[in-house]
Structure 1
Amino acid sequence: MTPRVLAHAAAASMRRARRLPLVMAIAGALLAACAPLPRAVPDNAQVQLPAQWSVPAARAADAQAGTPIAADWWTQLGDTQLDDLVAQALANNTDVLTALARVREAQASLAVTDAARGPSVNAALGAQVGRSLGPFGPSQTRSLQPGLQASWELDLWGRLSQQSQAAAARVQASDADRAAVQLSVAATTVQAYVGLRALQEQLAISQATVRSREQALQLARDQVRVGYISLLQQTQAQAEYDNVQQQVQQLQWQIDKQRATLNLLLGQAGGHENLAAPPAHRLQDLPLPAVPASLPSQLLERRPDIARAGYLLAASDHALAAQRAAFLPQVNLSASAGSLVINALHYNPLTVWSLGGSLLAPLFNSGRLEAQVDAATAQRDQAAYAYRGAVLNAFADVENALTGTARLAAQTVHATQRRDVLQQSLGYARDRYEAGYASYLEELDAQRNLYAAQLEVVRLHQAELDNRVALYKALGGGWQASAAAGQVGMH
């Protein structure tokens, strides 16, 4: 072939190379027209937020408008032992550690996804030994070919970028899930500790009642001995004494189980024997934290489970966009360079290289890409419904806690008044019995009613503390979402 012909062929190749981007752009536009259109979130997945709470926080007992929720809200109870237990639970609880591991997994997945957007370079080494028959007889060939290979997929349509953004949103969702687990563990630890202290206080009341019933039983036996009362009254006193003794055993068993529950929350098999000791102060001495006034927008910013659902919704949107981009052609660039060492060249290295590119455009795949888009759309819709459900659950939690705050406070007032009245009634019944105006049964009834009222006051105060913890948990505790979390919503 003459030099003129070679120059003409080279010029034609250059013209074809310059037309290649235009051809690829036209092909991409034609294929883009085949991609399915994006589908909107279903209308019934939209969240309709109420203008205000059914039971405004200002109407709840001891509400303080504008009261912030500190991250360590449990310290308002003023119990240093509780503070230590919550710190240990947040550090060692199995669920918390698992949530932290999930965050690390999501971060690693994001790194893998981001790496797909950049070029990859691999080292290659080939060696070959062969024996063949040539024109001059048998010959043996040895060759060694070291080199480097590089490849890079051009993200012309944003498919890889969308996948990376979806992975980043999943990292944020995993971190929000970690915050939700920590909030739940802290709240459960506080409630378990309050429950333990309530049981210990009920045990103290029961043991004091046992001592009182024991004295009454001994008095009844003495009176039977001198013929002052009948055996009926003695057996009634014996029955009341045994009943309270049974309650003592039941409470001690419940205390043992409650300590085991706390140990489980703390991530240990046993220990904290000091929890079995009587509390340094009464349960009624633990103050009720103030009721914080919160708006729906503030609730959305605080709740980690809502932030998690929002991030997962954003991730599903990016995943859907990546599936739509799969209808467009993929462009890959490749290059390799190395040396060829062969005995036929007397082991004189020969530099070899290559440059290339490929375009992969889907034409027919039996509906596989369409089905993948349908699946991604359904997953996006599931995430939208999950987000709506998280918001509705949050409002229901707050509504229930606010209602419980007012109702439990009213019950506690009446229960306390009833206990005080029954304390007076017991004194009147004892005076009437000692004066001979009434039987011992009247005093036993008064003792029984007072004992039940004392236990009920303790249980109600425990319920108030549990409900206040539930309210703080419903409002997201002290967890604060990032600025991006406040912008998460329906798309």
Structure 2
Amino acid sequence: MNRPRISLIALALPLALGACTMAPQPKPASTLNVPQGWRTPAPAAGAPEVAARDAGSNPAPGVVERDWWRSFGDPALDTLVRRALDNNGDLRVARARLQEYAARIRVAESARLPALNVSVGPTRSRAIGPFGTPVESTSVAGSVQASYELDLFGRVAGAVEAARFDNLSQEAALDAAALSVAANTASGYLNLLGLDAQLELARATLESRERSFELARHQFEVGYSSRLEMSQAEAELHATAAAVPQLQRQIALQEQALNLLLGASPGPVARGTDLLSLREPAVTPGLPSELLRRRPDIAQAENALAAADASLAVARSQLLPSIRLTASIGAAAHSLPDLLSSPEDLWSIGGSVLAPLFDAGRLRAQAEIAGTVRDRAVYAYETVVRTAFAETDNALASIDGLHRQLVEAEARRVAAGEVLRVARNRYTNGYASYLEELDAQRTSFTADVNALQLRASLLAAHVDLYRALGGGWAPATGVSPAPAASAAQSR
């Protein structure tokens, strides 16, 4: 009787394993092409190289210092960025999320160890005895149960691996958020200094317009000029005066935006140096291929891809049999004193093999879902890399274009100032009408504002370049995201 049963089990086991198999789900073909170089020439010297030269060393090309915001030479900016990195609300949320993913690793690793459970409970029952009379009994039992799953097909190991890659992805996400906060703080501060410079220019121009209006009114009163010239001087005075509160409003809004990044209450923001005293940094970006190891968002996408691939392996392993070993030891008695003094020993030991035969395609569908998640992670990784290349090229193009614009704007500003000086002398000496000086005033003011705006935009473009290059970020010791993603894609 036993041999046919054994033969039936031996026949059913290969059938069960065959039913559990599933065709491989290959990863999508890569469409990513790494460019050989940048379209726009890189700046000749980098700010980190300046700092390193001050320290007596020469960094390798393409290296960006971690505290890159110090390259602008403003201690107040350094203070603001560090406050933002310490107190920003989004970063605090990201740090809490990282603790969650670290706990998920411990949850996954717990499946590698046996599970132990203790149970103690009294039982009171009433039943019909063999002679038809009710019989009441009391029993007390206690036991310790242990269970352990043999990880023959790597399901538990795959779950642990997926949890670790998820944790690495969240670490990179925290670094990417910190880089964004630092860059936004630096950009906001540079914009604030640009607005301060424009406000100072507007106030100085307003004083000049007041003097021009007083002169025009005096010449009208003594009959040297017409009411038209006096009215035009008054209109220009009010136009310049209106620029002052407009700039003050923009400064207040920018200060509030910075306070939000700093996690601070509304209030003024401390300044250091002025806009024109800031150093203009320039970074050596290196080769495009080097960018893949310098941006935390790329590391985040790489580890997310590796986690998705490990989760796919776990989903596929659900189709394979699972083997669980169980054991228990305990004691029972009719009362608690008997349980403590002379109990009846109870024990059991066994094992089970659970293999899915029919589930209406649920496990296969879950594996297919995991495959689509892995495919989306591949597409997301390629998109992040392309975005990194585009942002770096855009920042380099902006620096190059803005630098050339600023050269021309400075030349125009100097020329417009000379035109204003000549026009004012001609008007004062009676050789020209006030319209000539008025036109020169407008041109000079526009040229000054344009030069200041371009200067602020050029500095902000350097921040964008630092952001595009990863801001000096580097993987943690012993962590190499790029090989991890390569290993995931080769599964």
1: CA distance between counterparts of 2:435 and 2:48?
Answer: 45
Is 1:74 the equivalent of 2:66? no
Q: CA deviation at 1:159?
A: 1.1
CA shift digits 1:458-489 (9 cap, x unpaired): 11011111110000110101110244213133
For residues 250-399 of structure 1, the aligned pairs below 5 Å read 250-271=246-267, 273=268, 275=270, 281-343=273-335, 348-399=342-393
For residues 433-444 of structure 1, the aligned pairs below 5 Å read 433-444=427-438
Is 1:174 the equivalent of 2:174? no
1: CA distance between counterparts of 2:181 and 2:325?
Answer: 51
Match of 1:239 in 2: 235
Match of 1:188 in 2: 184
Match of 1:40 in 2: 26
Q: CA deviation at 1:68?
A: 2.4
Q: Are the equivalent residues in 1 in contact too, given 2:114–2:146 (CA < 8 A)?
A: yes
Q: Are the equivalent residues in 2 in contact too, given 1:154–1:331 (CA < 8 A)?
A: yes
Q: CA deviation at 1:296?
A: 2.1
Q: Are the equivalent residues in 2 in contact too, given 1:32–1:327 (CA < 8 A)?
A: no
Q: CA deviation at 1:180?
A: 0.2
Is 1:113 the equivalent of 2:105? no
2: CA distance between counterparts of 1:323 and 1:190?
Answer: 45
State the secondary structure of the residue aligned to 2:22.
coil
Q: CA distance change for structure 1 residues 280 and 317 in 2, over 3 Å: closer, same or farther?
A: closer
Q: CA deviation at 1:344?
A: 12
Is 1:31 the equivalent of 2:17? yes
Q: CA distance change for structure 1 residues 112 and 29 in 2, over 3 Å: closer, same or farther?
A: farther
Q: CA deviation at 1:435?
A: 2.3
Match of 1:96 in 2: 91
Match of 2:127 in 1: 132
2: CA distance between counterparts of 1:343 and 1:94?
Answer: 59
TM norm structure 2: 0.90
2: CA distance between counterparts of 1:344 and 1:264?
Answer: 64
State the secondary structure of the residue aligned to 2:112.
coil
Q: CA deviation at 1:342?
A: 1.4
Amino acid of the structure 1 residue aligned with 2:42: A
Amino acid of the structure 1 residue aligned with 2:303: Y
CA shift digits 1:126-181 (9 cap, x unpaired): 21012334357544311111111111111110011111111110000000000000
Q: Are the equivalent residues in 2 in contact too, given 1:61–1:406 (CA < 8 A)?
A: no
1: CA distance between counterparts of 2:297 and 2:14?
Answer: 41
CA shift digits 1:10-68 (9 cap, x unpaired): xx99xx9xx99xx789936861574212222212x442111111223267999978152
Q: Are the equivalent residues in 2 in contact too, given 1:60–1:402 (CA < 8 A)?
A: no
Is 1:217 the equivalent of 2:202? no
Q: 1:476 aligns with which of 441, 455, 470?
A: 470
Q: CA distance change for structure 1 residues 407 and 60 in 2, over 3 Å: closer, same or farther?
A: farther
RMSD of the TM alignment (CA)?
Answer: 2.6
Q: CA deviation at 1:366?
A: 1.0
Q: CA distance change for structure 1 residues 471 and 288 in 2, over 3 Å: closer, same or farther?
A: same
Q: CA deviation at 1:182?
A: 0.1
Match of 1:447 in 2: 441
Q: CA distance change for structure 1 residues 408 and 63 in 2, over 3 Å: closer, same or farther?
A: farther
2: CA distance between counterparts of 1:130 and 1:159?
Answer: 44
Is 1:57 the equivalent of 2:45? no
Q: Are the equivalent residues in 1 in contact too, given 2:330–2:346 (CA < 8 A)?
A: yes
Q: Are the equivalent residues in 2 in contact too, given 1:401–1:468 (CA < 8 A)?
A: yes
1: CA distance between counterparts of 2:148 and 2:221?
Answer: 104
Q: CA distance change for structure 1 residues 433 and 268 in 2, over 3 Å: closer, same or farther?
A: same
Match of 2:139 in 1: 143
2: CA distance between counterparts of 1:67 and 1:169?
Answer: 27
State the secondary structure of the residue aligned to 2:323.
strand
Match of 2:412 in 1: 418
Amino acid of the structure 2 residue aligned with 1:40: P
Q: Are the equivalent residues in 2 in contact too, given 1:141–1:344 (CA < 8 A)?
A: no
Q: Are the equivalent residues in 2 in contact too, given 1:74–1:190 (CA < 8 A)?
A: yes
1: CA distance between counterparts of 2:338 and 2:356?
Answer: 48
Q: Are the equivalent residues in 1 in contact too, given 2:44–2:282 (CA < 8 A)?
A: no
Amino acid of the structure 1 residue aligned with 2:428: E
Q: Are the equivalent residues in 2 in contact too, given 1:162–1:319 (CA < 8 A)?
A: yes
Is 1:86 the equivalent of 2:81? yes
2: CA distance between counterparts of 1:315 and 1:402?
Answer: 34
The sequence identity of aligned pairs, in percent, is 41
Deviates more, 1:186-195 or 1:50-59: 50-59
Deviates more, 1:231-240 or 1:474-483: 474-483
Q: CA distance change for structure 1 residues 159 and 412 in 2, over 3 Å: closer, same or farther?
A: same
Q: CA distance change for structure 1 residues 416 and 331 in 2, over 3 Å: closer, same or farther?
A: same
1: CA distance between counterparts of 2:252 and 2:125?
Answer: 79
Q: CA deviation at 1:268?
A: 1.9
Q: CA deviation at 1:365?
A: 1.1
Match of 2:458 in 1: 464
State the secondary structure of the residue aligned to 1:352.
strand
Amino acid of the structure 2 residue aligned with 1:146: G
Q: CA distance change for structure 1 residues 429 and 35 in 2, over 3 Å: closer, same or farther?
A: same
Match of 2:398 in 1: 404
State the secondary structure of the residue aligned to 2:408.
helix
TM norm structure 1: 0.90
State the secondary structure of the residue aligned to 1:116.
helix
Contiguous gaps of at least 5 residues in structure 1: 1-8
The count of corresponding residues between Structure 1 and Structure 2 is: 471
Is 1:165 the equivalent of 2:161? yes
1: CA distance between counterparts of 2:437 and 2:388?
Answer: 50
Q: CA distance change for structure 1 residues 123 and 346 in 2, over 3 Å: closer, same or farther?
A: closer
2: CA distance between counterparts of 1:162 and 1:346?
Answer: 48
